Amino acid sequence: MKWSPRVKPIKIRRLYRAARLGLHDDDLLQTVGWELYGRCADIAAVADVYRDGLVPCPQCSAKIKRRIDPLFHTSDGGTHENWFHCPDCTQRLLWRDCREALRESPRCFDCYTLLDGAEELRCRCGKAWDRKAYHRSVRTRVRLPCPHCGLMIRKPVFETTRQVVRRHRSRPEMECPKCQATALHVHGNIECTSCGYKRRWRDYRKSLKKRDERLECASCGYSFRWQAWRKSARSLRTGNPGPAREFIERWPKCRTAKARMIQIDRLLQALHGRGALAPLFIVGNARNIRQMLDEFASQV
């Protein structure tokens, strides 16, 4: 899989050096911006793989569904959250999708109208919230509007993770490594009902983690190993792809050099606030990148 390279710090320094003089080199802005855009797109794509369980084919970029092993994953796509469907529009979503939609575009909880204001959010119906209080309310509410249809839905109640894991461990679907027949978990061992194969349960679980998982694309027929793909994407994995997704959405809408500089600066400010995230975008170690971003922040 070919990933977009990280941006060199010298290019970013040239941007800010020109910005201090009131100049905007549009060619350099385009170069840096699209390099950051490609990197953000790769980071968002890798985050989607671990969230949805759909791996892009290295040849044609078609989505391939992974076979999630029930011994290690308890929900769809390997995520620790549970999917559900909106009862009105039947869209498939996570509860955090409802929260994130309100954080990005605050709406009234009664009439679902967009709220105006920087510090204080006001609605046409007369209600008002402090922005921090509104975000706290979003985090604790059990009834939120659907981000697709806008109708109120209640937070679904699922089994706890411990209950789900216990249910899967009681009767896991296993096959004998030797003859592929049905195997059982008996007294700390795995025993085959057909050929009599026997192995310690702990060793069997470790072997499953190391076993090659081959994925084949239905579109182009290309076959590859999941372990190799995961290793190639190791430098792109992060638990916070939010800044990357925001940049992907806003960068193509920039029409002027000033707007492009603002979007690049906004992304770098987000990376500055999340120090561990910056080396995913910029060449260098965390300490040097941190010093550079501190320097840019002191010049604002």
CA distance 264 to 254: 11
Q: Are residues 292 and 253 in the same domain?
A: yes
- Residues β-bridged to residue 93: 84
Structure tokens at 57: 């084919």
Amino acid 80: pLDDT = 46
Which range, of 70-79, 141-150, 264-273, 283-292, averages the lowest pLDDT?
A: 70-79
> Would you say residue 57 lies in a domain?
yes
Q: Which domain holds residue 280?
A: 9-61+243-299
Percent of the residues in the chain that have a pLDDT greater than 70, as a whole number: 87
* Residue 81: band (very low, low, confident or very high) from pLDDT cuts 50, 70, 90: low
CA angle 124, 104, 114 (to 5 degrees): 15
For residue range 158-182, what is the model confidence (pLDDT) as tens digits? 755 454 444 444 455 577 878 878 8
> Would you say residue 69 lies in a domain?
no
If one counts the domains in the chain, the total is 2
CA distance 123 to 266: 28
Q: Which of 21, 41, 57 is nearest to 267 (CA)?
A: 41
Provide the strand spans (E) within the chain: 54-56, 63-65, 84-85, 92-93, 120-122, 128-130, 143-145, 152-154, 183-186, 189-192, 198-200, 214-216, 223-225
- Residues β-bridged to residue 186: 189
Question: Residues 123, 115: contact at Cβ < 8 Å?
Answer: yes
Q: Are residues 41 and 102 in the same domain?
A: no
Please check the confidence at residue 245 and state whether its pLDDT lies above 50: yes
> Would you say residue 283 lies in a domain?
yes
> Would you say residue 228 lies in a domain?
no
Question: Residues 270, 281: contact at Cβ < 8 Å?
Answer: no
Q: Are residues 42 and 99 in the same domain?
A: no
CA distance 165 to 104: 34
Amino acid (1-letter code) at residue 166 = R
Last residue of a domain, one of 116, 131, 154: 154
- Residues β-bridged to residue 199: 190
Average pLDDT over residues 171-199: 79
Average pLDDT over residues 119-148: 85
Please check the confidence at residue 79 and state whether its pLDDT lies above 80: no
Q: Which residue has the tokens 């965390």?
A: 286
Amino acid 227: pLDDT = 82
Last residue of a domain, one of 122, 154, 186: 154
Q: Are residues 47 and 95 in the same domain?
A: no
Residue with more model confidence, 71 or 158: 158
> Would you say residue 169 lies in a domain?
no
pTM of the model: 0.57
* Residue 60: band (very low, low, confident or very high) from pLDDT cuts 50, 70, 90: confident
Structure tokens at 202: 């702990």
What is the distance of C-alpha 27 from the center of its chain? 31
Q: Are residues 107 and 141 in the same domain?
A: yes
Last residue of a domain, one of 103, 127, 154: 154
CA distance 69 to 91: 26
Question: Residues 21, 300: contact at Cβ < 8 Å?
Answer: no
Amino acid 73: pLDDT = 43
> Would you say residue 75 lies in a domain?
no
Rg (CA), the chain: 24
> Would you say residue 120 lies in a domain?
yes
- The top-scoring range by mean pLDDT among 190-199, 255-264, 279-288 is 255-264
What is the distance of C-alpha 132 from the center of its chain? 25
Structure tokens at 74: 């308890």
Question: Residues 296, 17: contact at Cβ < 8 Å?
Answer: no
Q: Are residues 87 and 53 in the same domain?
A: no
> Would you say residue 194 lies in a domain?
no
CA distances from 192 to 70, 180, 277 (A): 19, 9, 47
Q: Are residues 14 and 51 in the same domain?
A: yes
Long-range contacts of 204-209 (CB under 8 A, 24+ apart): 204/177, 205/71, 207/177, 208/69, 208/71, 208/72, 209/72
Question: Residues 43, 236: contact at Cβ < 8 Å?
Answer: yes
- Mean pLDDT of all residues belonging to the chain: 81
